[in-house]
Structure 1
Amino acid sequence: MTPSIPAPAPAKPGLGSRLAALSRVVELGPGRVNPTLLGEAQQVLQRAGDRLKLSSEHTVVALAGGTGSGKSSLFNAISGLELSPTGVRRPTTARTHACVWGLEGAGPLLDWLQIQWRHRFARASALDKGDSQFHGLILLDLPDHDSIRALTDHEADRLIKIADLVVWVLDPQKYADASIHSRYVRELAGHDAVTVFVLNQADRLSREELAECVSDLTALLKREGLDNPMVVTTSAVTPGGADGLKAVIAAAVSRRRVAIRRLEADVERMARHLGPLMPPGEGTGVPAAVDAARRVGLTDALCDAVGVPALGEAMENVYAARSEDYVGWPYTRWLRRLGGDPLKSLRLGDLRQDIRELTAGTIGAQPAEVDNAIDALADGLSVGMHDAWRAGLRQAARSRAAELPGVLSEEMAQAAPRLDRVPGSWRLLKAWQYLLVVLFVFGVAWMGTALLDGVLGLMRMPAALSAFGDAKMLPWAGVTAVAALGLGLVSAVVGRNLVVTGASSERERLERDMRRRIGQVAENMVIAPVEQELRRHHEFYTAMRTLRGPQAKPGFRFTPAGQSAPR
């Protein structure tokens, strides 16, 4: 039966979009993703960018294997020429050899592969052109991966990572070699479609032994993480012994898609490695911005840390106490002054000093309470985040925490009103009250004059003022005094009500202004860096979802004839 090359499940949509997503992950990942992983992802992006710029009409197939596996013999058998040296005592490949079917456009690709000119060979006969099954093939014979020469070992590693299709040549005695499985095979999970395992030297085994080796190797590869490993048996010394491998390579070359599949497999591998950063459902409940409720909550907490409610209340009390000098009934005010400072009678304690310190800018926010407010915001927003992003969000929220108390204190000082500011209405009420005082004094003096002159006759008023001494005017004098006194008391009550209303309005205005200022400070120094980190988190996980793509669906197997059949 003709062997077939496995194809992956249908490619996750858009290699270009997945590469763009991986690029975005690399851009947003520093500080949140392991630097080693970011370095690997950057290498994948570099390789993909380089490969996509080069010939899409050529397929790079690399023969890899250990010393004595027979890969050079297979290389010669496939190419039909003795191009790669073979030996008996120490059959070691020291440099990569390349055989090219179709030279046009292959030069830049061979340069990128860093194949030396003297090790490049071309199949340019008439049989290798046009519809040749190998037209567009670049076949590489890599240095032995277990070479004792560090240079060639590094070269093999480099080319294994960038070849479109890797053919691992194993011999029946060392196919379970730990060096191959630990260094390479375990890293090939997801690369089934661009990896072929060749069990060479099949001529040394009986049919039963060969079947057992194939079964054992397949089981071993599955345990290493390959879902659908492809195993081909070959014999470089038997006529037609490499036909099965030739058919597999011809099928890959004819599709002209192996390079894309290799890049898709590399991207898929990075998606798996980055997967622990995004467990199922992770990041889905994290907001991309700070909502209005949390903004208000932060402003409230910072207002409490600064003491806005207490200072507003103190300002209201001081406002009311100072109004006594202007809107109260003067006689009552004079009597209160005999009893001491009106602020002491209100038992305001040190509030006046607090207000003076506030206007001088010496009252500061409580750093501990400010820190608690910031931490509460960060903790609330980071629910559902990966630990690395949670720490990053907290760090962003606290990026300006050290200077925040000082800025809040400065804003409070600018918002505080002057203590010597006197509303114009207070001055009008004071003038009115003193007018009533004069009128009351006049009424009392008139009553005394009328009583002494008109009733008792104890004094005589001048002729020009004789009307004030008439006993008949005594009731009018009394009415004048009583009216002045009543109007004064009513004015005092009305003025007090106006002061209470004004004090409340002043407090509301002050607190509103302070909240506005504190809210703006919170927006600039806390919310802005937090939202920048949230946007970074949102963009990172959006890129991660694009990189991971949808779940794979049942795929197909491509046969050498180019037909597909359900797997």
Structure 2
Amino acid sequence: MSVGTTQTRQGLGSRLAALARIVELGPGRVDPKLLAEAGRLLLRAGDRLKLSSEHTVVALAGGTGSGKSTLFNSVSGLELSPTGVRRPTTARTHACVWGLEGAGPLLDWLKIQWRHRFARASALDRGESQLHGLILLDLPDHDSIRALTDNEADRLIQVADLVVWVLDPQKYADASTHRRYVTDLAGHEAVTVFVLNQADRLEPEELAECMADLDGLLRREGVENPVIVATSATTGQGVDNLKAVIAEAVTNRRAAVQRLEADLDRLTRRLVKAMPVQDAPVPPSSIDDARRIGLADALCDAVGVPAIGEAMENVYAARSAEWVGWPYPRWIAGLRPDPLKSLRLGDLRDEIRGIGGSVSAQPAEVDAAIQALADGLTVGMHEAWRNGVREAARSRSAQLPEALAEELTEVAPRLDRVPGWWRALLVWQYLLVGLFVAGLAWIGTALVYGVFGAANPPAALGLFADAASLPWVGLMVLSVLGLGALTAVASRNFIVLGAGTEREGMEREMRRRVAGIAQSMVIEPVERELARYNEFYSAVRAVHD
């Protein structure tokens, strides 16, 4: 095998590998019929490239009465294929091999029956060394009655390295032949030859006119540079010219690769038409930080993270009054309605557990956030891939609200939690209440016994009954009231500041967890789909180029 042929096969191998990736990545995005055809081409190419590269399979195809079998015998120099008299037809494919060594597996793959295989062992002795490596097939007539139920001709036309179409002057423009076969030959000029047989039946001027008409017909059907040879199997006219065309293909040992390349080019044109490459965007396979943050923020809004933080802060501020407020105002406030009930907050943990689906608006907001992400990433994409990214983004959307609820429930604060310093302040406040009550009792005793002299004070009261102590006791009572009020205000301020700090920490943790869920349940599936998209189009470009 020449260096050029080796490089050509390597180039074809790279394109076929890219096609294999397209077949792997295309389901759900590409027309199943097109993928099935690509799969069949891959199988055929893999089989053919593993078989003998020293042999070139040339198939003689034609309709009934075209003289195909007679031409086959003429080229081979032997009466190998039977020719009909009243109704010419070839029932089974016949093969003539120039150089039998290594051809067996290839003939088996072609499914040529043993009794229809013939070898030209004397080809070199006859001066036909240029045909060494030729496997010449005489196919069944593609338009015979048998062909209606037997697709052997169609099958071999699809796998032959070089196809020689044998046409006769009466039916060379036959619509069935051109409609079924010729219109699919665009791009196959290097591996297709057209033979106008039975040329002996025409005058030179008629032959030239038929050749020109056939050339024009083929060009109109997309065959840019058709190779046309005029022959007469009965007189031998033009048979050497046909042998020369075949010999060139056999000598170059490139027909098999050229045929596969032509088939691949045709399939690629259809693929690119279905999935245009030129204007296809190339999105990054990983989602940028701005979109990640945007999705996390949208999901946080959907589950009410800011509202949860605000509610926590309000509840802490309201409940702190029960523990660190000056008892007298608190007792008075107790006569009014419960502030928690007026806030309608209840147990925040139960509220968070309800995020999973009890509130109908929230799943819709989650879906809207996911939709916005997908739409932003798929601008300019083919509709099939746009839908693919959307499906990937929504692949776990049904479980997403519940997952968010479970995560946020773990982070939600315990509203019945009472810090230790709240308890210490409560003891301190009641101590002050006790001092205030004791002071009032002292003042009352001093007024009764020391000021009004209602009776002689018991000896045990001593100082408590002395009127001189009233200013100092009054000052103490006022100090206790001021200290209690100051303690309550300072404590409330500390609690509010602490609640704000705790709210910020809680919201940061919630956002971190929401971002983690968004990463695993939305972003990762989308990134896999984007990677699939980019790899698919890279493979299409590799096949196309």
Q: TM-score, normalised by structure 2?
A: 0.90
Amino acid at match of 2:257: I
Match of 2:84 in 1: 87
Alignment of 1:485-524 (within 5 A): 485-524=481-520
Match of 2:155 in 1: 158
Query: Structure 1 pair 429/359, CA: closer, same or farther in 2 (3 Å)?
Result: farther
Does structure 1 residue 169 correspond to structure 2 residue 166? yes
Alignment of 1:24-423 (within 5 A): 24-125=21-122, 127=124, 132-150=129-147, 153-239=150-236, 241-343=238-340, 347-348=342-343, 350-352=344-346, 356-358=350-352, 364-365=358-359, 366-423=362-419
Instruction: Report the Cα distance in structure 1 between the residues aligned to 2:407 and 2:218, rounded to whole angstroms.
Output: 68
Does structure 1 residue 440 correspond to structure 2 residue 440? no
| Structure 2: runs of 5 or more not aligned | none
The answer on whether the counterparts of 2:318 and 2:340 sit within 8 Å (CA) in structure 1 is yes
Does structure 1 residue 545 correspond to structure 2 residue 523? no
How much does 1:456 deviate? 5.8
The answer on whether the counterparts of 2:348 and 2:415 sit within 8 Å (CA) in structure 1 is no
Instruction: Report the Cα distance in structure 2 between the residues aligned to 1:113 and 1:315, rounded to whole angstroms.
Output: 79
Worse-superposed segment, 487-496 or 450-459: 450-459
Amino acid at match of 2:119: A
Q: Deviations over 1:115-171 (max 9, x none)?
A: 111111111116259981011111111111111103785111000000011111112
Aligned length: 539
The answer on whether the counterparts of 2:277 and 2:537 sit within 8 Å (CA) in structure 1 is no
The answer on whether the counterparts of 1:196 and 1:231 sit within 8 Å (CA) in structure 2 is yes
Query: Structure 1 pair 112/128, CA: closer, same or farther in 2 (3 Å)?
Result: farther
Instruction: Report the Cα distance in structure 2 between the residues aligned to 1:83 and 1:186, rounded to whole angstroms.
Output: 31
Instruction: Report the Cα distance in structure 2 between the residues aligned to 1:74 and 1:338, rounded to whole angstroms.
Output: 116
The answer on whether the counterparts of 2:165 and 2:193 sit within 8 Å (CA) in structure 1 is yes
Instruction: Report the Cα distance in structure 2 between the residues aligned to 1:65 and 1:203, rounded to whole angstroms.
Output: 18
Amino acid at match of 1:336: A
Q: Deviations over 1:164-209 (max 9, x none)?
A: 1111111222111111111111111221111111222223333333
Worse-superposed segment, 435-444 or 216-225: 435-444
Q: Deviations over 1:410-454 (max 9, x none)?
A: 434333322211122322222222233333344444455556666
Instruction: Name the SS of the counterpart of 2:141 in structure 1.
Output: coil
CA RMSD of aligned residues (A): 2.9
The answer on whether the counterparts of 2:97 and 2:118 sit within 8 Å (CA) in structure 1 is yes
Instruction: Name the SS of the counterpart of 1:127 in structure 2.
Output: coil
Match of 1:429 in 2: 425
The answer on whether the counterparts of 2:59 and 2:138 sit within 8 Å (CA) in structure 1 is yes
Instruction: Report the Cα distance in structure 2 between the residues aligned to 1:56 and 1:262, rounded to whole angstroms.
Output: 13
The answer on whether the counterparts of 1:234 and 1:242 sit within 8 Å (CA) in structure 2 is yes
Q: 1:532 aligns with which of 525, 528, 532?
A: 528
The answer on whether the counterparts of 1:93 and 1:143 sit within 8 Å (CA) in structure 2 is yes
Query: Structure 1 pair 359/472, CA: closer, same or farther in 2 (3 Å)?
Result: farther
The answer on whether the counterparts of 1:286 and 1:384 sit within 8 Å (CA) in structure 2 is no
Instruction: Report the Cα distance in structure 2 between the residues aligned to 1:491 and 1:333, rounded to whole angstroms.
Output: 14
Amino acid at match of 1:84: S
Q: Deviations over 1:65-121 (max 9, x none)?
A: 111212222212221222222234322222111111111100111111111111111
Query: Structure 1 pair 438/37, CA: closer, same or farther in 2 (3 Å)?
Result: same
How much does 1:274 deviate? 1.3
Instruction: Report the Cα distance in structure 2 between the residues aligned to 1:35 and 1:209, rounded to whole angstroms.
Output: 48
Match of 1:3 in 2: none
How much does 1:224 deviate? 1.4
Query: Structure 1 pair 48/141, CA: closer, same or farther in 2 (3 Å)?
Result: same
How much does 1:260 deviate? 1.0
Amino acid at match of 1:302: L
Instruction: Report the Cα distance in structure 2 between the residues aligned to 1:426 and 1:310, rounded to whole angstroms.
Output: 25
Instruction: Name the SS of the counterpart of 1:63 in structure 2.
Output: strand
Amino acid at match of 1:50: D
Instruction: Report the Cα distance in structure 2 between the residues aligned to 1:287 and 1:49, rounded to whole angstroms.
Output: 34
How much does 1:467 deviate? 4.4
The answer on whether the counterparts of 1:285 and 1:384 sit within 8 Å (CA) in structure 2 is no
Instruction: Name the SS of the counterpart of 1:352 in structure 2.
Output: coil
Amino acid at match of 1:94: A
The answer on whether the counterparts of 1:98 and 1:141 sit within 8 Å (CA) in structure 2 is yes
How much does 1:459 deviate? 6.1
Instruction: Name the SS of the counterpart of 2:229 in structure 1.
Output: strand
Instruction: Report the Cα distance in structure 1 between the residues aligned to 2:114 and 2:241, rounded to whole angstroms.
Output: 30
Instruction: Report the Cα distance in structure 1 between the residues aligned to 2:543 and 2:350, rounded to whole angstroms.
Output: 61
Instruction: Report the Cα distance in structure 2 between the residues aligned to 1:114 and 1:273, rounded to whole angstroms.
Output: 30
Worse-superposed segment, 415-424 or 289-298: 289-298
Q: Deviations over 1:319-361 (max 9, x none)?
A: 21111111212222122112232335xx42x222666544688
Instruction: Name the SS of the counterpart of 1:323 in structure 2.
Output: helix
The answer on whether the counterparts of 1:73 and 1:236 sit within 8 Å (CA) in structure 2 is yes
Query: Structure 1 pair 151/339, CA: closer, same or farther in 2 (3 Å)?
Result: closer
Instruction: Report the Cα distance in structure 2 between the residues aligned to 1:216 and 1:13, rounded to whole angstroms.
Output: 39
Instruction: Report the Cα distance in structure 1 between the residues aligned to 2:258 and 2:117, rounded to whole angstroms.
Output: 25
The answer on whether the counterparts of 2:25 and 2:536 sit within 8 Å (CA) in structure 1 is yes
Amino acid at match of 1:273: R
Instruction: Name the SS of the counterpart of 1:38 in structure 2.
Output: helix
Instruction: Report the Cα distance in structure 2 between the residues aligned to 1:50 and 1:151, rounded to whole angstroms.
Output: 27
| Structure 1: runs of 5 or more not aligned | 1-6, 550-567
Amino acid at match of 2:314: N
Instruction: Report the Cα distance in structure 1 between the residues aligned to 2:188 and 2:24, rounded to whole angstroms.
Output: 26
Amino acid at match of 2:358: G
Query: Structure 1 pair 90/462, CA: closer, same or farther in 2 (3 Å)?
Result: same
Instruction: Name the SS of the counterpart of 1:543 in structure 2.
Output: helix
Question: Relative contact order, CA 8 A, sep 6+: which one is greater?
Answer: 1
The answer on whether the counterparts of 2:23 and 2:35 sit within 8 Å (CA) in structure 1 is yes
Match of 1:564 in 2: none
Instruction: Name the SS of the counterpart of 1:102 in structure 2.
Output: coil
How much does 1:499 deviate? 1.6
